[in-house]
Amino acid sequence: MIRKKLAWHWGQYLIPTEWEAMNYSLHSEKGALQFFTREGLQATYSWRTVAGLPDHRRIQAELCRMTLRDNVLEKVKEPSMEFQHWGDFQICLCKQANLVSASLHIPANNILIDWRFSFSELTLDIYRETLSSYKTNDADRVHWVFQDMGCRLPDNFYPNEVKVMPGSSMAQFSTYRHEKVILRRWALPEELLGKRSLEEYGVWLMKHLNRKILKSEAHTIGPNPAISITYNEMGKFGFEGLIGSWWRGLSTIWKDEASKRVYAFENYGPKGKKLPSLEESWL
């Protein structure tokens, strides 16, 4: 099976290419991602802060009982459960609840990771391969990979906005000092650009975002045409927003000929801040 990389809070995985994530949770303390195909919900990935060492079996057994109470018309006194280990994960298989649950405790961060899948003999190997691909994601540089784009950012950056729309995706990452990194992806470049060149589209986008263009430069990234635009962005926080201070930014937009997508990597922030570059960050 062909797989794609997913990296979000607390984990990196290789998941089936058909799975599309929805409802991205932004907070590192508690959240979830849901994965859908045309057939419906396939998996849920969640994480939460816990106090102390969790009792995996008790938590998973209670989850099976709750699922049965919610979804099964027939009353079942005690569901039949099978416990296993797949790699680093504690697994609970419950056919009666149509549930496969997987949990992993990260003691250094007091985080409990939880995966939930629909039980099917035909898809158990898919779930097993997904969990076996797990890598930690809490180093000095954290990976963020989703919607066919990704970056590697210092651990003081966190996601504070994600938009997934038909034909386009955007994610913004920030620090508490308001440094910004923005990833963008557009499908159907012919429809996006129309009769405009890539440079003309980039200039239009910056003006649409109310940015003051300082200079633009056409170049290439490998075999792909690209445009880099240096701009000023109006300061938005605290005293800088009151006095109209400008923040310097750089947006690089390129057309990937192989994937037939248009991508952008942007960074901006208050004066004197060293911002992550495209070269060191893009995955």
Q: Same domain, yes or no, for 162 and 192?
A: yes
- The answer to the question of residue 243 being in a domain is yes
- CATH code of 166's domain: 3.40.1000.10
Beta bridge partner(s), residue 218: 227
Q: What is the dihedral of CA 126, 129, 131, 135, to 10 degrees?
A: -140
Higher pLDDT, 20 or 78: 20
- CATH code of 112's domain: 3.40.1000
C-beta atoms surrounding 31 within 10 Å: 17
pLDDT band at 75 (very low <50, low <70, confident <90, very high): low
pLDDT of residue 73: 47
What's the average model confidence in pLDDT over 102-113?
96
Within a 13 Å sphere around the CA of 280, how many CA atoms are in the beta-carbon half?
10
C-beta separation of 97 from 67 below 8 A: yes
3-state class (DSSP) for residue 41:
strand
What's the predicted TM-score (pTM) here?
0.90
* Structural domain span for residue 121: 3-132
Tally the domains of the chain.
2
C-beta atoms surrounding 130 within 10 Å: 26
Q: Check residue 276 and report its DSSP letter.
A: P
> pLDDT by residue (tens digit) across 32-54?
999 999 989 999 999 999 999 99
What's the average model confidence in pLDDT over 9-28?
93
Higher pLDDT, 114 or 70: 114
Helices and strands of the chain, counted as H and E runs: 6, 18
- The answer to the question of residue 123 being in a domain is yes
> pLDDT by residue (tens digit) across 257-274?
999 999 999 999 888 778
> pLDDT by residue (tens digit) across 126-163?
999 999 999 999 889 999 999 889 999 999 999 999 99
- What contacts 112, CB < 8 A, 6 or more positions away? 47, 48, 49, 50, 54, 103, 104, 105, 106
Q: Same domain, yes or no, for 160 and 126?
A: no
Q: What angle do CA 67, 68, 70 make, to 5 degrees?
A: 65
Q: Same domain, yes or no, for 71 and 113?
A: yes
Q: Same domain, yes or no, for 247 and 161?
A: yes
Radius of gyration of the chain (CA): 22
